[in-house]
Structure 1
Amino acid sequence: MAAQQRGLNDGPVLVVGGGPVGMVAAAWLARLDVPVVLIEAEDEPKTDWRASTFHAATLELLDELGVAEQMHAEGLRVPIYHFRDRAEGLIAEFDFRLLADETPFPYRLQLNQQHLVRMLHQRLRATPGVELRFGSRVTGVRQRPGGGVTVSLGTATGSEELTGSYVIGADGAGSTVRGALGVAFTGFTYPERFLIASTSVDLAQVLPGIAEVNYVADPREWLFLLRTPESWRAVWPVPAEQSEAEALHEDTLRRQFQGVAPRAEGYPIIDRQLYRVHQRVAETFRVGDVLLVGDAAHINSPMGGVGLNSGIHDAVDLARRIGRIAGGGADADAELDAFAERRHRVAVEYVQADTQRNTERLRETDETRRRAAHDEMRAIASDPERARGYMRRVSLLESVRRFGIGLPPGSTPEPAGTHAP
């Protein structure tokens, strides 16, 4: 039977990856009464601290999923953020409350991503039609003649196979699913690595006047400083020649914080991560009945906090389409092609473009270009209409209003100033 006519006759949707994007995909499918199996290589839900920002457009989706209230109870609302220069101080201040007439969430919500994973994991464990397969590593993906996909798994007790109607690859930058498809992951890797370190010290006390989110430009060592409910976090570049052991050493991290703001009592370090940063996009987000979302489909600089958010948008877009397919009234190929085309465009035109621009603005070494960038940020912040447009873009509201999230093929997004349920 043709793919566009078969619905989900080939079994449940197999979601590979138990991070926040995979969890959202599984939870949204379950909400639409689509049977789902979530497959995760680790034995327990992931607990890494890396991403911590949820933007307005994402909070609208998570509110519909029914998890935003709990996130707000545990998270930190940040309506204001700063663009600063390490030598000159404040360059521009942006206030998301300018968007209060467009979204019920005119701020960034700071909450480490593992908390969303925990919340959704607890929900999925109690949801009928959901099977959780932790400690199961995908070793192969095979498309079936006539439709459907079989995945090979390695577990603590041996190997097995699962068959489903679709596979959603949400298994991160090193995606096994993407590799099994042979899909190119084009782009580049930054020469320096990025280091995230967290301290229990309140940086607002030692750096009076800073916001709770700060992008700090400097030609030698830019910084990103932000507050989360657990701690203050700093992100800075690590030279290629510095060893991982030295970069992560307690003494090195404490010296780095002393360079940010001297403090006689020092800085206790409560978390640290060193990682490579890439700007890469998969050549396609769809191969037959296998789809890619989140970091499996696109990875980017963290400057802007949009990687996790755009991955959640991928997951919801795709889940809505699969929900219509499962209902039997949608053309599967048209829906899945629309997902692949629209989300690829968003990844290239918004996520990649903006995060690259943000990173280059912070690390610019040419003094003329640095001054021009600072002047441009001041001009944007001082003009309410330009500031509003800028914040619509960085909060991903612009991309959602332009492309929608999971809209049927051929349909038109709602005009700016409204938000879809």
Structure 2
Amino acid sequence: MSSGTPEQVIIVGGGPVGLVAAMRLGHFGIPAVVVEAEDQVSRALKASTFHPPTLEMLDQYGITPGLLEAGLVAPTWQVRMHETGEYAEFDLSVLKGDTAHPYRLQVEQWKLSELLLAHIRTKLPGIRVLMGHRCVAVEQDEGGVRAVVESASGGRQELAGRYLIAADGARSTVRAALDLSFEGLTFPETTVLATTRFPFHEHIPTLSYINYCWASTGTFSLLRLPGLWRVSLYPWEGETVEDALEPDSIQKKLQHILPRDEPYEIMEIRPYRIHQRVVNTYVNGRIVLAGDAAHINSPSGGMGMNGGIHDAFNLTEKLKRIYAGESEALLAQYERQRRPIAIKHVLQQSGRNRARMQERGEKQRRATLGELQRKAGDPRLAREYLLETSMILGLREAAAIE
């Protein structure tokens, strides 16, 4: 037996993208149910950078102040030559005429999820959230869509709805059930993410909160969060991924960044592969993909979660108009506006960020740093570059697509 109103939207995935979509639909008066496999918000090491337009979007619902309170405002970011201390620094204040939030915000994505859940549960009775439930099957016809969900105890129920949003991440079960092509590639390197409470900023005073660093042994990044630093490391030449994950290897890499007489306290370690993929179609009848279910990219530049949230805002605006009586053809406009932007401004830009940091040649590194310093030092060029890397330009281009 199906549960819920047949007019509801079923949202598979209760991460930031799914919860943003649910919140928006709730404020539009559209019933929705969120299905999330985890029984609580995951605090795994995932995204931690919020770009200006994302903060503007969330500000409409009173979410951004909570993020600001929980995070760190990063007015600048850097590309650095580690051994020499040279760097190019981009100051986002040049965007003050383009956004109310001319900075990046450093805060863990799980804090956004918790804020969204609290907002939904206290203010939006038309939204149900089923934590600890996996979607195991989906089907659709001209009249609607149905999802079979299974609880942790093995109990099953069928949810009926008018549309289904697949926001269930890079390993999307919905995308797999639809047998959609996920075109792209997987890069050869593995990133090893480690966190430490060591205050790098007190020992390297020129650091920004966001730093992409070249070193003689390869590359790494340093991102500051409240009370800790996240360090992205890579296996050294000739080192296996398994060896790079060993605490001794991580200690050596941290000691290379900043030598100390005592070992670093390492709190968490997480490896991840880097992918650049986009699904062949976002809209499949009454089932629509968003976020990592639709596109995944290099995390360099912090565009993945932000792009998914932008998907959710665009898609829910289309659903609002459809529920008000406009044509379902608006779903095709969602795909026209979001898929090319994901390719051009998310996948390609994050790919360029990755390629820059994977550069091993000293001559090319110096040429790239010089070009970045030239852009950073020219307010016009800096603004143009930051409009792109802060995801503002992509949203403007999307809005112009009919």
- Structure 2 residue ranges without an equivalent (≥5): none
Identity in percent = 38
Render the CA deviation track for 1:357-382: whole Å, top value 9, x for unaligned: 11111111244433332222122112
2:387 is the counterpart of 1:392: yes
Provide the residue aligned with 2:46 in structure 1. 50
Counterpart in 2 of 1:11? Answer: 7
State the Cα distance separating 1:19 from its structure 2 match: 0.9
TM-score by length of 1: 0.90
Matched residue, 1:125: 121
Deviation (angstroms), 1:61: 0.3
Higher mean displacement: 175-184 or 157-166: 157-166
Counterpart residue identity of residue 121, structure 2: R
Code of the residue aligned with 1:258 in structure 2: it is Q
> SS of the residue aligned with 1:190?
strand
| Whole-Å separation in 2 of the counterparts to 1:86 and 1:224 | 10
Match of 2:277 in 1: 280
In the TM superposition, what whole-angstrom CA distance separates every residue of 1:240-264 from its partner, at most 9, and x where no partner exists? 9756654333332222211110122
Which secondary structure does the structure 1 equivalent of 2:86 belong to? strand
1:11 aligned counterpart, secondary structure? coil
Secondary structure, counterpart of 2:188 in structure 1? coil
Instruction: For residue 122 of structure 1, give the secondary structure of its aligned residue in structure 2.
Output: helix
Matching residue's letter, 2:278: V
Amino acid at match of 1:69: P
The answer as to whether partners of 1:227 and 1:233 remain within 8 angstroms in 2 is yes
In the other structure, the counterpart of 1:418 is none
Alignment match of 2:221 (pick from 224, 233, 244): 224
Report the number of matched residues. 397
* TM value normalised by structure 2: 0.94
Q: Distance in 2 between matches of 1:291 and 1:71?
A: 28
Quick one: distance in 1 between partners of 2:260 and 2:216? 24
User: Which residue identity lines up with residue 382 of structure 1 in the other structure?
Assistant: G
Q: Distance in 2 between matches of 1:196 and 1:31?
A: 37
Which amino acid is the alignment partner of residue 47 of structure 1?
R
Is the aligned partner of 1:65 residue 2:61? yes
- 1:252 match: 249
Q: How far apart are 1:125 and its partner, in Å?
A: 2.1
Q: For the residues of structure 2 that align with 1:182 and 1:403, how far apart are their CA atoms?
A: 27
Could you tell me whether the CA contact under 8 Å between 2:71 and 2:226 is conserved in 1? yes
Of 298, 304, 316, the match for 1:319: 316
Q: Residue type of the partner of 2:354?
A: T
User: Where do 1:76-95 residues align within 5 Å?
Assistant: 76-95=72-91
SS at match of 2:218: coil
1:262-305 per-position Cα deviation (integer Å, ceiling 9, x unaligned): 12232111222111110111111111111111111111111101
- 1:23 aligned onto 2:9: no
Cα distance between partner residues in 2 of 1:58 and 1:240: 37
Structure 1: runs of 5+ lacking an equivalent: 1-7, 411-421
Equivalent of residue 134 in structure 1, options 126, 131, 154: 131
CA contact (8 A) 1:56 1:103 kept: yes
**How far apart, CA to CA, are the structure 2 residues paired with 1:319 and 1:349?**
22
Q: CA deviation at 1:237?
A: 1.8
Following TM superposition, by how much is the alpha carbon of 1:324 offset from its aligned partner in structure 2, in angstroms?
A: 1.2
Partner SS, residue 156 of structure 2: strand
1:380 matches 2:375? yes
